[in-house]
Amino acid sequence: MNFLGVDIGTGGSRAVLIDERGGVVGTASIAHAAVASPHIGWAEQEPQDWWRASTAAIRVVIETARVRPGSIAAVGFSGQMHGSVFLDEADEVIRPALLWCDQRTEKQCIDITERIGSARLSELVSNPAITGFTLPKLLWLRVAEPENWKQIRSILLPKDYVRLRLSGDKASDVNDASGTLLFDVRNRKWSSEMLDALELDLKQLPRVYESIEVTGAVSKSGAESTGLLEGTPVIAGAGDNAAGAVGMGVVNPATVGVTIGTSGVVLVVTEKPMRDPAGRVHTLCHAVPDRWLMTGVTLSAGESLKWFRDKFGGGKSFADLDSEAASVDSGSEGAVWLPYLMGERSPHLDPNARAAFVGLTANQTTAHLARAVMEGVAFSLRDCLEIFRGLGAPIDTIRLGGGGAKSPLWRQIQADVYRRTVERTTVDEGAAFGAALLAGVGAGAWRSVDDACTQAIKIADRVEPDPDSADILDQNFETYLNLYPALKSAFGT
C-alpha cells in the first residue's frame, strides 16, 4: 500500500509517493510558468497551470516508481497558502489567482482593521490584516474589478483548486483556511462575524476539514488526467508550512521548525492557540487535530540568495556561492543584509519595506556579500524566534528544512545565530512528503500523525553552535535590529 502527497508550490508542483513505513518510493517535480507581475508588487499565476503541472507530476511518479495505481490507497495535498482562485458558476477560472506574495492590498488591510478593530480582529481570526492573506485580495477585486466580482460563485485556495479538478469537491482544511483572515482559528471554523462584517457569502467558501479527513475521491475525469484509480480517497492535507512541519516531524509542543525556501518560515507547535497582540507573528491551526502553530515569515529568504546569484553571481551556481561564502569569516567583515526584497511580514508587516546592504567596505568581495545574505536571512528568522520567546512559547528542539538546510554552511550559520543546536531529518522532501504522511493517516495506515512521524522520520545530523562565531554574529544581529527603524523613512513609508 502506498500514499501520494502532492504539493502545489509557487515554482512548481511536486509529487511524493511513500510506502507503509514512510519510505520514499518515488518523487517527481514539474515547473510552473513564471509568476506574472503586471505591476510592481503584484504576483499572479494561472490556476490551470497548477493542474497541468500536478497531473504531469503524478503521472511521472507513478511511471518512474513502477507502481500500480491501485496500490495508491490515498492522495493528500499541500500547497502555497493565501492565494485566491475565483470561479464562476461553471467552475471556470475568472482571472489569474493572486498569490501569497502579492502586495497590492495595503489599502484593503487598513480598511479591514478600521472596520473590525485590531483587537477584535485578533479575537475573531487570531491574526492581523496582512497583504498576503486571502481576505484583502477579495476586497481588492470587489472594488478594482467589479465585473469579475459579479461572476464569482466559489473562492478556493491554490491546492484546493487542484483538488476540485481531481475529485470534483470544493473542500479545504483547517490549516490552509487559517491563512484567509476569514477563519476562526481558535474554534476551527469559518467566522460568521467576519463574513457578515465584510458582506461576504459563506456559500462561496469551501467546506473545511481536519487535515487527516477524507474530502472525496478521485473522479473519472481526474483518473483520466492523472493515471490514478477512480475512487481513490482524497485527504484534506494542509498548507505548505504545516504539511512541511509534518514532513519534518514538527508535531509536538515545544518543537520548532525553521524552513528556508523561497520564503523563510519559523514555527512552533502549541497545545492551545497563542496570539501575538502586536500582530508580528501569526497563529494557525496545525495539521494535527487539537494543536496550533505560531508562525513567523520572512518573504525573501532563499529568494534573497537567488536574487544575489542571478544579479551579481556572474553565472555562478548556488554551490559556487556557498563555497566562496564558506571561505569568509563569520560576520562577513561587518556587512549586514536586510532581506526585504518583497516587503516584509514578520515582524514589521510592511509591504513597502526594502532590502539593503549595510556596512560595506572596499575590501569586501562577492564572497562576503553572499555570506552576509545567508547571515541576514538567519537574522530575520531569529527575529521571529525572539518574539516566540517573549510571548512565552515553549522552545525545545530546532529542526531545519527546505533548501537552506541542504547547505552545511547555512546550517552552521543558523546554529550560531540561534545559539542553539539544530538538526535535520534523513528525508527532506518538503511539504509533499508531509501531505503523503497525512494521506497515510487518513487511510488508516497509522493511528495518528504522531505515530506516522515516529515511524517515518529519523534525524540525519545535528550541528552545535560555535561560541566564537555566535559572539560575532550577536553583534551583527544588534546592527540588523537597528536597520529597519533607521531606514524606514528612506523606504517612503
| pLDDT tens, per residue, the chain with 493 residues | 999 999 999 999 999 999 999 999 999 999 999 999 999 889 999 999 999 999 999 999 999 999 999 999 999 999 999 999 999 999 999 999 999 989 899 999 999 999 999 999 999 999 999 888 999 999 999 999 999 999 999 999 999 999 999 999 999 999 999 999 999 999 999 999 999 999 999 999 999 999 999 999 999 999 999 999 999 999 999 999 999 999 999 999 988 999 998 889 999 999 999 888 888 899 999 999 999 999 999 989 999 999 999 999 989 999 999 999 999 999 999 999 999 998 888 898 888 899 999 999 999 999 999 999 999 999 999 999 999 999 998 888 899 998 899 999 999 999 999 999 999 999 888 899 999 999 999 999 999 999 999 999 999 999 999 999 999 999 999 999 999 999 999 887 5
Cβ–Cβ < 8 Å for 229, 223: yes
Torsion of CA 189, 86, 96, 171, to 10 degrees: 50
Helix axes 240-248, 449-456, angle to 10 degrees: 50
Of 102, 176, 184, 240, catalytic: 240
Residue 351 CA to residue 131 CA, distance in Å, equals 7
Catalytic annotation on 468? no
pLDDT at 262: 86
Going from N- to C-terminal start, the domains of the chain cover 2-248
Phi-psi region of 349 (alpha: psi -120 to 50; beta: other; left: phi over 0): left
Q: Cell 569569516 identifies what position?
A: 329
pLDDT at 395: 86
pLDDT at 493: 54
Give ∠ CA 12-156-217 in degrees, rounded to 5: 80
Q: 207 has which bridge partners?
A: 171
Residue 336 CA to residue 329 CA, distance in Å, equals 13
CATH topology of domain 2-248: Nucleotidyltransferase; domain 5 (3.30.420)
